Structure 1
Amino acid sequence: MTWTAPEITRTRAPRKADERTMLEGWLTFHRQTLLHKCAGLTAEQLKTASVEPSNLTLLGLVRHMAEVERWWFRTCFAGEQLPDLFNTDEFEDGDFDLVADADAEADHATFGVECALADEAAAGRSLDDTFQGPRAPHHEMDLRWVYVHMIEEYARHNGHADLIRQRIDGRTGE
């Protein structure tokens, strides 16, 4: 039986809320939007690079965002020592480049796990809690920055996902 990405019900971000609720709401909405762009497609369709000459695929975006969730929330903010999920020394962009033989169902599940673990890493922590920037260790960053960065990262990649999905089967929409 061929695996197909499941349908997803998206939760709208609040229109009026405190800062934390607003940030969490927008992050959740963007996570769900990426999965919404994948819904109903087979593993092979998710691996289809449809905007030449780019090798960007919907599965590559899911894998990349799992890496990004893990990196910013767990490795950088929470200080966990974790290996990359898909990237290696040989393939720095393995999340994007190594999709041909990837297990789409497993990678889809990994994305969900990483989002849940990211939420756990931030739970109960203040938006003002800081950590040392990974590429500029003398610069302090706070959890608020991580949320804002993740929202903009998803917004950018969800735009890519729109184009890829439209080329695969014509489906458009928010």
Structure 2
Amino acid sequence: MDPVLPDLDLDRRDEPRPDPDLRASLVAWLQHQRHEFQRKWRDLSPEQLAEWSIPPVELSVLGLVRHMQQMEHAYLSWGLGGGDRVEAYGDDDYAGGSAETAGEDLRLYLDEVARADAAIESTPTLETVGRGHGDPLGHTLIKMIDEYALHSGQAHMLRFAALGTLER
């Protein structure tokens, strides 16, 4: 595996099994959507991750990674857990990043996911409101599943363009 990319199981393609517990189901779907998003990174070099593959659109797979790091923070880590809100990239998420920052950007994203998981775990019920944004956990999980579904689709197309082939 490329040294820039973390060691993730990117070959797995399983969807969550039905669960009568709504919280468990929502968390499983969030994990699934994260995994599908991360699958879009495989086989991409740092240059391909950062490439604006569909000109004139200033968007890359890496820009989406940076954006999702900020979404994980705003909606889950800070949103649920409170504390200091930090915009790691500010307005420079989608169009920012480079081959040189790819490794650090991926690590920052994965670290935020770990913090977000801790915030989810520490939120007792789907109705419990976040200490940062004040929205209930259930609503926040649905929002993040939606964010991942949208941006995974974009990353899928950008991946094809960067690779120059339709590699699923």
For the aligned pair, the TM-score class normalised by the smaller chain equals 0.7 to 0.9
- Pair 1:107-2:109 in alignment: no
Gaps of 5+ in 1: 135-139
- Give the equivalent residue in structure 2 for 1:73: 76
- Pair 1:160-2:154 in alignment: yes
**1:13 offset after TM fit, Å?**
3.4
Cα deviation 1:9-50 (Å, max 9, x = unaligned): 446332310211111111111111111111121110101111
Task: Give RMSD over aligned pairs.
Answer: 2.1
- Pair 1:129-2:128 in alignment: yes
**1:5 offset after TM fit, Å?**
3.0
Which of 78, 84, 109 is equivalent to 2:87?
84
The number of aligned residues is 162
Pick 1 or 2: higher relative contact order, CA cutoff 8 A, min separation 6. Answer: 2
- Give the equivalent residue in structure 2 for 1:28: 31
Paired residue type of 2:166: R
- TM norm structure 2: 0.86
Query: What is the aligned-residue identity percentage?
Result: 29
Gaps of 5+ in 2: none
1:16–1:151 distance in 2 versus 1, CA, 3 Å = same
Cα deviation 1:110-164 (Å, max 9, x = unaligned): 1111111001011042111014785xxxxx5210011000000000001101110
For residues 44 and 99 of structure 2, what CA distance do their matches in structure 1 show? 17
- TM norm structure 1: 0.84
Which of 13, 16, 33 is equivalent to 2:18?
16
Q: Please state whether the residue corresponding to 2:153 is helix, strand or coil.
A: helix
- Pair 1:5-2:5 in alignment: yes
